[in-house]
């Protein structure tokens, strides 16, 4: 018997639990597609936009979620590329086509001119399934390269990781590690006391802003509010990893990472420029990567941006795309 599909408009409270379950079963999921992440973004930045949080069911089973929003005549994913490195639809494996066909039927009855989908990985559902469907229905579809995300497939040991680096990069990393050890007592650690998270986040913000004027400008009061809400929400689920490097008892570098889906994501970092001669910012990132190996994670994702240090630490580019769907 042919399955009957239905589509509904949802809100975050009504969908959050089932969203979490669907995403965990989805092989293409990532931290930026979690309801915790998207709810934090929407609550801080959603003003002036219409929420289009759509769910599709096959019978009683949730088979897909379209986390969308509308502003004027443009529809896009919830989020923005400044803080959301990856975006996509969410669907059960094998149900993508049915889900997206019903979604596009629903959207076709609405008033809009462009569907602007940012931050798409090569294997995203948007590129693999939605683009062919939209083209088959006569939409104009433009795909452009938006950025790159250097990533490292993690081996099973630290020594194996070092052996994968070029000789020059391996020697340079060992030299920096040696110099830090000679400078005095140094200690890298990840905080795990959620009761102290507000104080730890203040140290994160301090070191982040110290890193450069561009980071100071980025971390507005609104952005800080988003970071706090996001961090607390992800910490409740065990996804947050906030790390520090101390030199002689002083916190001199910080890194905000996410542990999700057998991958570690390096989201943001900062350091005290007074300790730049010790490469504290870089070496804390190395500590986070090493922790990923110890934890048995599959991949370390430096996330978007082609900074040199990512390649010095073995990063390999994964392209990130933008897809623009236009009504003719």
Q: What is the pLDDT of residues 247-279, one digit of tens each?
A: 999 999 999 999 999 999 999 999 999 999 999
Residue pLDDT, tens place only, 33-76? 999 999 999 999 999 999 999 999 998 899 999 999 999 999 99
Say what percent of the chain tops pLDDT 90.
96
Show the tokens assigned to 37.
Answer: 């992440």
Residues with Cβ within 8 Å of 292's Cβ and at least 6 positions away in sequence, in order, are: 154, 264, 300
Which of 207, 209, 219 shows the shortest CA–CA distance to 271?
207
C-alpha distances (whole Å) from 133 to each of 59, 103, 113, 120, 139 are 23, 11, 17, 16, 9
Residues with Cβ within 8 Å of 53's Cβ and at least 6 positions away in sequence, in order, are: 9, 10, 11, 12, 15, 65, 66, 67, 68, 78
Confidence of residue 225 (pLDDT cuts 50, 70, 90): very high
C-alpha distances (whole Å) from 11 to each of 43, 51, 96, 288 are 12, 8, 22, 35
Show the tokens assigned to 298.
Answer: 């599959």
Confidence of residue 237 (pLDDT cuts 50, 70, 90): very high
Which of 256, 194, 207 shows the shortest CA–CA distance to 227?
256
Q: DSSP string covering 234-252, please?
A: HHHHT-EEEEEEEETTEEE
Calculate mean pLDDT across residues 225-251: 97
CA distance linking residue 100 with residue 7, whole number of Å: 11
SS (H, E, C) 40-90: HHHHHHCCCCEEEEEEEEECCEEEEEEEEEEECCEEEECCCCCCCCCCCCE
CA distance linking residue 110 with residue 70, whole number of Å: 11
Which of 304, 263, 264 shows the shortest CA–CA distance to 285?
264
Residue pLDDT, tens place only, 290-321? 999 999 999 999 999 999 999 999 999 999 99
Looking at residue 53, what is its pLDDT?
98
Looking at residue 27, what is its pLDDT?
86
Give phi and psi for 168, each to the nearest 5: -65, -45
Whether 81 has a pLDDT exceeding 90, the answer reads yes
DSSP-derived 3-state class of residue 231: helix
Residues with Cβ within 8 Å of 7's Cβ and at least 6 positions away in sequence, in order, are: 54, 55, 56, 57, 102, 103, 106
Hey, how many other C-beta atoms are within 10 angstroms of the C-beta on 198? Answer: 11
CA distance linking residue 83 with residue 303, whole number of Å: 11
Calculate mean pLDDT across residues 96-113: 96
Which of 42, 70, 37, 68 shows the shortest CA–CA distance to 130?
68
Confidence of residue 2 (pLDDT cuts 50, 70, 90): low
pTM of the model: 0.96
5-147+320-326: CATH homologous superfamily? Answer: Gcn5-related N-acetyltransferase (GNAT) (3.40.630.30)
Confidence of residue 328 (pLDDT cuts 50, 70, 90): confident
Residue pLDDT, tens place only, 87-99? 999 999 999 999 9
CA distance linking residue 282 with residue 191, whole number of Å: 19
> What is the dihedral angle through the alpha carbons of 145, 148, 149, 150, rounded to the nearest 10 degrees?
140
Calculate mean pLDDT across residues 93-113: 95
Whether 1 has a pLDDT exceeding 60, the answer reads no
Residue pLDDT, tens place only, 125-142? 999 999 999 999 999 999
What are the residue ranges spanned by the domains of the chain?
Answer: 5-147+320-326, 155-297
Domains 5-147+320-326 and 155-297 share a fold: yes
Per CATH, domain 155-297 is 3.20.20.80:
no
Residue pLDDT, tens place only, 158-181? 999 999 999 999 999 999 999 999
Residue 252 sits at the vertex; the CA angle it makes with 262 and 174, to the nearest 5 degrees, is 65
Looking at residue 4, what is its pLDDT?
87
Burial class of 127 by CB neighbour count within 10 A (0 to 12, 13 to 18, 19+): middle
Q: Which residues pair with 70 in a beta bridge?
A: 50, 75
Hey, how many other C-beta atoms are within 10 angstroms of the C-beta on 115? Answer: 23
Average pLDDT across the chain, whole number? 96
Calculate mean pLDDT across residues 235-252: 97
């Amino acid at each position: 018997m042919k399955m009957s599909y239905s589509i509904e408009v949802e809100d975050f409270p009504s969908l959050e639990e089932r969203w979490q379950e669907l995403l965990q079963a989805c092989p293409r999921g990532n931290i930026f597609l979690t309801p915790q992440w998207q709810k934090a973004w929407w609550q801080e930045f959603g003003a002036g936009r219409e929420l289009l949080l759509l769910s599709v069911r096959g019978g009683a089973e949730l088979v897909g979620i379209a986390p969308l929003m509308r502003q004027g005549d443009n529809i896009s994913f919830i989020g923005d590329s400044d803080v959301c490195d990856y975006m996509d639809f969410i669907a059960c494996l094998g149900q993508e086509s049915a889900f997206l066909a019903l979604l596009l039927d629903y959207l076709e009855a609405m008033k809009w001119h462009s569907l602007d989908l940012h931050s798409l990985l090569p294997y995203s559902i948007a590129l693999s399934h939605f683009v062919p469907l939209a083209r088959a229905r006569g939409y104009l579809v433009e795909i452009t390269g938006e950025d790159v995300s250097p990533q490292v497939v993690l081996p099973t040991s630290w020594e194996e990781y070092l052996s994968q680096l070029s000789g020059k990069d391996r020697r340079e990393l060992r030299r920096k590690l040696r110099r830090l050890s000679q400078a005095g007592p140094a200690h890298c650690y990840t905080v795990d006391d959620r009761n102290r998270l507000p104080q730890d986040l203040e140290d994160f913000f301090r070191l982040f802003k110290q890193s450069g004027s561009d980071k100071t400008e980025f971390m507005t009061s609104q952005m800080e509010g988003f970071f706090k809400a996001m961090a607390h929400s992800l910490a409740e689920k065990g996804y947050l990893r906030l790390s520090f490097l101390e030199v002689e008892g002083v916190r001199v570098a910080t890194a905000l990472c996410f542990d999700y889906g057998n991958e570690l994501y390096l989201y943001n970092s900062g350091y005290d420029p007074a300790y730049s001669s010790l490469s504290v910012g870089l070496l804390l990132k190395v500590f986070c990567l090493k922790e990923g190996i110890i934890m048995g994670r599959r991949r370390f994702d430096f996330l978007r941006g082609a900074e040199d240090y990512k390649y010095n630490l073995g990063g390999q580019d994964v392209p990130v795309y933008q897809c623009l769907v236009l009504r003719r």
